[in-house]
Amino acid sequence: MDYKAMLTVFRTMIIFLVGILPAIAAAETKLQKVEGDTFILDLRYGTDDNFLKKNVYQSFGLEQCWVQPDLFAALQKLAPKLREQNLKLVFWDCYRPLAVQEAMWKLVPNARYVANPKSGSNHNRGVAIDVTLADAQGSYLVMPTAFDDFSAKAAPDFRCTTDDAEKCKNRDRLIELMKAVGLTPINSEWWHFQLPRAGKYPIVKTLDAPLP
């Protein structure tokens, strides 16, 4: 093989590798585990202390908070902001495998309370989290409602009475922190935050599935 032929083969190999390496990297990318001294896990669907009155995580071995890499990056930016204010972020819910969503739907087949697994939840995409705040000692700050409250008080713009002003102040503090790292709330749950354009992310059926 002469020099020109060898050079052509070499160039072809380089072009091939440049084309497939991003695909290989993407195939190896998976959901990332959230951990650190500024984060507290209190996964409510891994207990009976939720509106379903049943632990729907135990059967699927879900014991940690997993999120998409983009959401993981936002939470890493949030960590120093929490430290500056002597706060911790408490996770009530993170990624849910689609099988968990199906189990929840069987218990409560009502789209007002549970997302239909046919369309999926942003939790199934790994781009949504349900959270609250705690102080540096781990004591939860008071908020307008408990988790999974379906009353009007759960809305992020609900106005507290003078007696409950501290609750709305803490809620607004949480919202401000989350917005500062690019996460957005929804209009019915003060505890729910997600990546912008969350629907563009695909549903991740299982925890060990590579991301597209």
Catalytic residue IDs? 189
Task: Report the C-alpha dihedral over residues 41, 205, 126, 146, rounded to 10 degrees.
Answer: -50
91 bridge partner residues:
41, 131
Question: CA–CA separation, 164 vs 83, rounded Å?
Answer: 26
Which residues have CB under 8 Å from 33's CB, separation 6+?
Answer: 64, 65, 66
Residue 12, H or E segment: helix 3-28
Q: Determine the 3-state secondary structure of 103 from DSSP.
A: helix
Asked whether the beta carbons of 194 and 128 are under 8 A apart, the reply is yes
